[in-house]
């Protein structure tokens, strides 16, 4: 059984252009071709595209994923685990940043009466006042 690029894209839930883009970026090996030049795919490529989708959903970049695919082909479990841990660290850091912003913004909103003088609005004051951030 073999698939056209359109059929593959449908099966994997991505756009045709995305499949070609991933090939250019090295996330998919160059596809086999018919005499006409049409790409042909098998079951493996569906799996690989789904792998890519799931890894993206976990926050991995395409560069990360190319690494991950190489490492998983080597069946190097320890490296896969380290990569996952590294990504987890990045995600936790991003969460911490956003938490800081959330707390700051929440405090300003809670202090702001939502009416009255602009000079008394803690949001505008926080953004405008002298002391440097």
Partner DNA sequence: CTTGACTCTGGACCTAGGTGCAGGGTGCAA
Partner DNA sequence: TTGCACCCTGCACCTAGGTCCAGAGTCAAG
Judged by the rule CB under 7 A, the positions of this chain that interact with DNA are: 4-7, 14-18, 20-21, 31, 34-39, 56, 61-63
Whole-angstrom Cα distance, residue 31 to residue 126? 56
Whole-angstrom Cα distance, residue 66 to residue 87? 14
Task: Measure the CA dihedral 76/78/79/80, to 10°.
Answer: 80
Which x/- pattern, by CB under 8 A, does the window 44-63 give for a second copy?
---x--xx-xxx-xxx----
Does 14 interact with a second copy (rule: CB under 8 A)?
A: no
Considering the complex, state which of residue 8 and residue 121 has its C-beta at the smaller distance from DNA.
Answer: 8
Whole-angstrom Cα distance, residue 65 to residue 30? 17
Phi, psi dihedrals of residue 26, rounded to the nearest 5°: 85, 15
Instruction: Tell how many helices (H) and how many strands (E) occur in the chain.
Output: 6, 2
In the complex, the smallest distance separating the C-beta of residue 26 from a second copy, rounded to whole angstroms, is: 18
In the complex, the smallest distance separating the C-beta of residue 125 from DNA, rounded to whole angstroms, is: 22
In the complex, the smallest distance separating the C-beta of residue 8 from a second copy, rounded to whole angstroms, is: 15
63 binds, among DNA, a second copy, none (CB under 5 to 8 A by kind): DNA
Considering the complex, state which of residue 34 and residue 88 has its C-beta at the smaller distance from a second copy.
Answer: 88
Task: Measure the CA dihedral 84/89/95/98, to 10°.
Answer: -130
- Among 8, 28, 49, 121, indicate the residue that binds a second copy (CB under 8 A): 121
């Amino acid at each position: 059984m073999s698939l056209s690029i359109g059929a593959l894209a449908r099966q994997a839930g991505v756009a045709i252009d995305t499949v070609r883009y991933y090939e250019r970026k090295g996330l998919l090996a160059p596809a086999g071709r018919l005499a006409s030049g049409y790409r042909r795919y098998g079951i493996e490529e569906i799996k690989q595209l789904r792998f890519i989708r799931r890894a993206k959903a976990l926050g991995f970049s395409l560069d990360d994923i190319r690494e991950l695919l190489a490492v998983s082909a080597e069946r190097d479990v320890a490296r896969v685990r380290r990569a996952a841990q590294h990504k987890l660290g990045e995600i936790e850091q991003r969460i911490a940043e956003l938490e800081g912003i959330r707390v700051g913004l929440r405090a300003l909103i809670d202090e702001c009466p939502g009416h009255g003088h602009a000079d008394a609005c803690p949001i505008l004051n926080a953004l405008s006042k002298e002391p440097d951030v």
